[in-house]
Amino acid sequence: MTSRQRLLCALERRVPDRLPVTTHHLMPSFLETLPGKPTPLEFFDRFGLDAVCWLNVNAPDPGCGQYFDPDHTPGEYEARRIVTECWRIEAEDVPDRWYRTVRYAIHTPRATLTTVLQSDAYTTWVAERLVKNKSDIDVIAEYMPPLVCDVEAVNRRAASFGERGIVRGTVPGFDVYGQPGCWQDAAVLVGIERLILSVYDDPDWVRRLLAVLEKRKRTWVSSLAGARYDLIELGGGDASSTVISPGIFEEFVAPYDASLIEEAHKAGMRVVYHICGGIMPLLDLLVAMKPDALETFTPSAMGGDADLGAAKKKIGGAVCMIGGFDQVHFFTGVDPERTRAEVRRCFEEAGEGGGYILAPSDHFFEAEIPLLEAYADEARACVYHPAGEG
Amino acid sequence: MEEREIAETLERLAECVERGKADASSLHPVDLRGRDGAEELTRLLLEAGVPPARILDEGLIPGMGRIGEKFREKQVFVPDVLLAARAMHAAMNHLRPFFRSRAIVTRGTFIIGTVFGDLHDIGKKLVAMVVEGSGWDVVDLGVNVEPERFVAEVRSRPGAVVGLSALLTTTMPNMRTTVAVLKETTPCTPVIVGGAPVTPEFAATIGADAYGADPYAAVEFLHRVGGS
């Protein structure tokens, strides 16, 4: 099987030739530490992993006054930003003792919204939330431009990527530090604690915000028809059970994201729902949303609660499972044999009958080369028998 | 207010804390809508002459204790603890003056913060709230806290215990730095660490005195090392 065939086979819950093995996003800061500073594809080739091409390309609609923001340089995994004269985004560097600090101002005819991001060598975070007043979401609703996918650009890239692996996109979030899931996007804009308390204090406002975010995402998802994406990512860890309750998930997460999954299916797309953090109490709710795959199955040693074997038994017949590997404890500081044993554990617990892709349970910021080699090599040795036994 | 009524009101206060009913205007929980919440009941008890220490010991601490037990048993989730902590804070606003006048003697001082480079707040805040609800004076230094700031706070509050939080594997090394600085400058200060990627082994490696898997582990540690 080619890597693409193998990954698609697992995504469709069929039995591939052997355990598909890949990673979540590869952090640029990590790749720079490796000899030769490989690109993501070179990294996959170097270690013999099944490759993923992350691709997010949107097309401005000049008829609606949209154009690419000339001042925006997209980061890894980011699409070029699209703005209008009624939604102009200015970035200004702010002096800070420790971190790169950037204040963003979004100018609209009605108000200017601001947010501050900080970053270090590894990651970026929000230091000042964009939604400060409840009425800010009305400004967003009125002026945030809708987005559509550049299908031709996706297909050109997919054609050149060929059988090397799958092409994966992300449901676009807000223009600054946006996130794929409606709840996750809202959590970044408002702050998760405030969002949770607003669920109890002003649930209608939360619903209004989620609906505004869903509307834009839905437009984008609808535009995917004909795009040769193999997988589209939705969700986010702020919807995990380590952050919210199943009750909040059912009322404020599932309806909005499930409707996007339905729309994606209409456009012929497969969807992976990303939920780093607690997942076990949410399994039934997640499967009811009908995604094609679920990730990241974060182990308890990393702050999650995933029991791969129990999850496989409960939902393995309904959804492809991706992740479950503990990258913190088995990509650094251990003997390669322990890394191999962790790969075996994942395969034995979740691999039976196919429908499982081995991957770290989210990003990793550091990894030792012999352990990456052991990870990939052991996974390649996890072959399925012809009868499809794991 | 007669003793029986006081006891009933204290129990209602504990229920309000446990179930996250901050004040009469709180919409949650639905079955308590329109009724007095933790804020009103605390005021009522104080006006009736109930000693503030009794309100803390028989109202707030049991309420936070019950929700904590449920959280530990995985019967409730983070939002339930957030609501409980908010209700407790509504009550504490009335009790804080008595802490200052020493009409209430706390079990000790707990200084907590998320280490520098890390802006994650919610886990650290939960620990702070639960510890405060267990009768400790809590100094929450917030997020992205440099080691020197912890040291300065410890020096101004002799006998305090320190809690460090980190959510990212990339900021765990900053936890190591902070513990090292604390142990060098204030070697007798007990330090507990926690956060999603933190493990008991990591805590031991960096010289912390304890690892807390959840807020209640922090309370147990505090009661062990410094609580009355």
Burial class (CB in 10 A: 0-12, 13-18, 19+), A301: middle
Amino acid letter for position A340: R
Of residues A71, A110, A67, the one with CA closest to residue A90: A71
| Enclosing H/E stretch for B54 | helix B52-55
Identify the residue whose tokens are 């009469």. B24
Separation CA A199–CA A181 (nearest Å): 17
Tokens representing residue A327 in the block: 């990258």
DSSP A387: T
Separation CA B64–CA B36 (nearest Å): 18
**Cβ contacts (< 8 Å) between A200 and chain B: which residues?**
20, 26-28, 79, 83
Output the CA torsion A118→A121→B182→B158 (10° steps).
0
Contact across the interface for B119 and A192, Cβ inside 8 Å: no
Burial class (CB in 10 A: 0-12, 13-18, 19+), A63: exposed
Predicted local confidence at residue A386, as pLDDT: 62
Per-position pLDDT tens, chain A of length 390: 999 999 999 999 999 999 999 999 898 889 999 999 999 999 999 999 999 999 999 999 999 999 999 999 998 889 999 999 999 999 999 998 778 899 999 999 999 999 999 887 777 888 899 999 999 999 999 999 999 999 999 999 999 999 999 999 999 999 999 999 999 999 999 999 899 999 999 999 999 999 999 999 999 999 999 999 999 999 999 999 989 999 999 999 999 999 999 999 999 999 999 998 899 999 999 999 999 999 999 998 888 899 999 999 999 999 999 999 999 889 999 999 999 999 999 999 999 999 999 999 988 888 999 999 999 999 999 999 765 444
CA distance A280 to chain B (A): 11
Separation CA B36–CA B33 (nearest Å): 8
Predicted local confidence at residue A388, as pLDDT: 46
With cut-offs at 50, 70 and 90, classify the pLDDT of residue B123: confident
> Considering the entire predicted model, what is its pTM?
0.90
ipTM, two decimals, is 0.91
**Cβ contacts (< 8 Å) between A120 and chain B: which residues?**
117, 170
Q: Which of B32, B127, B165, B169 to mutate to test the interface with A (most CBs of A within 10 A)?
A: B169
**Cβ contacts (< 8 Å) between A127 and chain B: which residues?**
119
Separation CA B181–CA A312 (nearest Å): 45
Residue of B nearest to A302 (CA): B197
Q: What percent of chain B has pLDDT over 70?
A: 99
**Cα within 13 Å of Cα(A248), Cβ side:** 25
Predicted local confidence at residue B1, as pLDDT: 85
Sequence-separated (6 or more) residues with CB below 8 Å from residue B56: B95, B104, B135
Per-window interface: A 69-98 vs B, CB < 8 A: 98
Question: B86 in contact with A at a CB cutoff of 8 Å?
Answer: yes
DSSP string, A39-68: -HHHHHHHHTPPEEEE---B---GGGT-EE
Helix/strand/coil for A97: coil
